[in-house]
Amino acid sequence: MRISPRGNKKLIQSNIVEFYFEGTGLNVGISIANFGGNVKHISAVSQDSIGETALAYIR
C-alpha cells in the first residue's frame, strides 16, 4: 500500500492522504492471471477496514 498526500505535497504539509493498493508483485500477478496462469500471493494483511479494502481490491 502506498500512502500519498494530495497535491504533490510532502506528507508533513498535508492533512489529506490517499491510499493506493499496488506494487510490482501485484501488477505481475494480475498480468499472469489475465493470461490464464495460476497465481498465489503470500503476505500479511491487517484485520481491520484497511486490510479488508486491500483484499477486496486484489480480488
pLDDT by residue for the chain (59 residues), tens only, comes to: 888 999 889 989 999 999 888 788 888 988 999 999 999 877 788 999 988 988 888 78
- What is each CA distance from 42 to 8, 25, 26, 29, 36, in whole angstroms? 32, 11, 11, 11, 19
3-state DSSP assignment of residue 4: strand
Dist. CA 32–CA 14, nearest whole Å: 37
Q: Which domain holds residue 11?
A: 2-58
Grid coordinates representing 13 are: 504539509
- Whole-model pTM: value is 0.56
SS3 content of the chain, % helix, strand, coil (to 5): 45, 15, 40
Domain count, the chain: 1
